[in-house]
Chains A and B, each alone.
Chain A
Amino acid sequence: MRTIKEINAKIKKGDVVVVTAEEVIDLVAKKGVKKAAQEVDVVTTGTFGPMCSSGAYFNIGHSKPRIKLGGGTCTLNGVPVYTGFAAVDIYLGATALADDDPRNKIYPGEFKYGGGHVIQELVAGKNAHLEASAYGTDCYPRKKLSTHINIKDINEAVLFNIRNCYQNYNIAVNLSDKPIYTYMGMLKPNLGNANYCSAGQLSPLLKDPYYKTIGVGTKIFLGGGIGYVSWHGTQHNPSVKRKENGIPQAPAGTLAVIGDLKQMKPEWLVGVSMLGYGVTLNVGIGVPIPILDEEILKYTAARDEEIYAQVVDYSEAYPQAVPGSLAEANYAQLKSGKITVKGKEIPTGNLSSYSKAVEIAEQLKAWIKKGDFTLTEAVAALPGVESGYTFKPLKESPSIS
């Protein structure tokens, strides 16, 4: 029908037709798949939610005299960073906590500040205090470093998230008789609430369920700037059960993404605190889907009603890694504010901001229409259903000591 090259020519000429993954639903309802696919060149998606396997690496530049952080220790605003690289490369993970954070000693812990917050502050242009100690070598004699750093002064600041953008997620409930505090939020006892975490009909991988266009090298909206899909994400699991429409019914594909942190924005990388659980980072991601044929367009037009997720008990089944589902609900039901599980009507809460997902899809649409954002051809495909690639549990074996 059309190629990415042809779409990019239209973007350059300024007559590209772009709609969001929400708008394409109405368009298909009105005009049908065939006509809509003829008209639309690109469908934009969006998602904004907590994504724990996120982080950023920095090259802070060499001090005088030189110091080798590798093998030493280093903190940013008191939050430890990973130093196991060369002299001045460090990696800050979203869930990292200061050594003196009380964690869950007073249960449920508040987790007021951690890696996610440091990343947001750095992106906002704030200074961060770096404190480091090293063992000293002949070529890197310095043993202590205490300084402020600013993202605009250091060499590289790169967001590199090893798992983002889950294709679908669980609906978390609590079957026990006491409240529990999870990464899915506070869950009230006896099925008191059901928390979910997906943009549903706007979520990138749900709109390209077989990864026909999204692959390694796909250019995306990342944290308010431009990023790229660098690989499939960790725990990528394309082989889960799917509905007839091809959409996975449980957490499936994931993306690893990368991009220059210096051009991102603090409103799209938000440090958040999950009571009793820890700190993480809310990441904003938008992926453009080129409409290369009718089938691709048909997938982008899937509605909330057609996308199902599984209800999982986080008091017992999840922590004990017992597979299975209590029930199934679609995103239209979840968004209505109530679902029924075991005959009980329970209120729902979303961890992923749908209104922010709409904003991202709209922003990406505006960039493409303005000619600021062209599409890329994937250089390698993500492991698909036929690959046999799966997400395995740990094979634990007693270690010899």
Chain B
Amino acid sequence: MVSKKIVLHFPSKLVDQPIVYKLVKDFDLQFNILKASVTSGEEGLMVLELTGKKENFDQGIEYLKSCGVKIQPLSKDVVRDEVKCTHCGVCIPICPTGALIVDPKTRKVIFHNDKCIACELCVPICPPRAMEVKF
């Protein structure tokens, strides 16, 4: 069994379709809606905790992607490869929430996981590519 928190972005053309229902019916997945903002004619956003057998989970995610839903992991899934990070600090002004800061004493870059909102801005701009999205 796997259980993961994910953020779903629905393009406006999908907002009126019963996509989450399909996750239950066709892929035998349980869901718990943590946050939802879906208005007809606009882009929808939903934060779900999705639980089920690994195989079903993966197929369910593939189904969502095939429908055109953009999927993002929640904050706890942005991780730093501690070996790769060189502590340069070029990520610091890019992080919108202050989850990446410099320790004034050691001059090392600290990553506060709890402040991270998984916007992923740090991922492609990190020169040694130490920031990874785990999904």
Interface residues of A, Cβ cutoff 8 Å to B: 48-50, 108, 110, 112, 185-186, 188, 192-195, 270-275, 280, 282, 335, 337, 346-356, 358
Task: Tell me if A273 and B88 are in contact (CB < 8 A).
Answer: no
- Given A186-B94, A349-B88, A353-B86, 9 extra CB contacts under 8 A: A188-B93, A193-B94, A275-B124, A347-B92, A349-B90, A349-B94, A354-B87, A354-B89, A355-B108
**B93, B102, B106, B124: residue with the most chain A Cβ atoms closer than 10 Å:** B93
A49 (CB) vs chain B CBs: closest residue = B88
- A337-B102, A347-B93, A355-B107 known; A273-B86 Cβ under 8 A: no
Point out the residues of chain A lying under 8 angstroms from B87, CB to CB.
353-356
Interface residues of B (CB under 8 A from A): 86-94, 102, 106-108, 124-125, 127-129
Interface residue SS majority, chain A: strand
| A353-B89 contact in complex given A186-B125, A273-B127, C-beta closer than 8 Å | yes
Q: Contact: B127 with A349, CB < 8 Å?
A: no
- Tell which of A49, A112, A185, A335 touches B125, judged by Cβ atoms closer than 8 Å: A185
Report which of A194, A273, A358 forms a contact with B107, defined as CB distance below 8 A: A358
Given contacts A337-B102, A355-B108, A358-B107, contact A195 B90 (CB under 8 A): yes
How far, in angstroms, from A352 to B87 measured CA to CA in the complex?
8
- Contact between B93 and A272, CB atoms less than 8 A apart: no
**Which one of A193, A280, A335, A353 lies within 8 Å of B88 (CB-CB)?**
A353
Specify which chain B residues have a CB less than 8 angstroms from the CB of A185 in the assembled complex.
Answer: 90, 125, 127
Give min CB distance, B120 to chain A, whole Å: 12
A50–B107 CA distance with the chains assembled, in angstroms: 18
Contact indicator B93/A349 (Cβ below 8 Å): yes
Chain B residues, Cβ within 8 Å of A110: 124
A/B interface sample: 14 pairs, CB < 8 A: A48-B86, A185-B125, A194-B93, A270-B86, A275-B125, A280-B127, A282-B86, A335-B102, A335-B107, A347-B93, A349-B92, A350-B90, A351-B88, A354-B89
Q: Which residues of A contact B93 (CB under 8 A)?
A: 188, 192-195, 346-349
Q: Determine how close the nearest CB of chain B comes to the CB of A32; give it in whole angstroms.
A: 26
Q: Which of B86, B91, B129 has the most CB of A within 10 A?
A: B86
Q: A186-B125, A273-B127 are in contact. Are A354 and B91 (CB under 8 A)?
A: no
| Contact A274/B127 with A188-B94, A192-B93 known, Cβ cut-off 8 Å | yes
- Chain A nearest CB from B68 CB (Å) reads 19
Residues from chain B with a CB closer than 8 A to the CB of A112 are 129
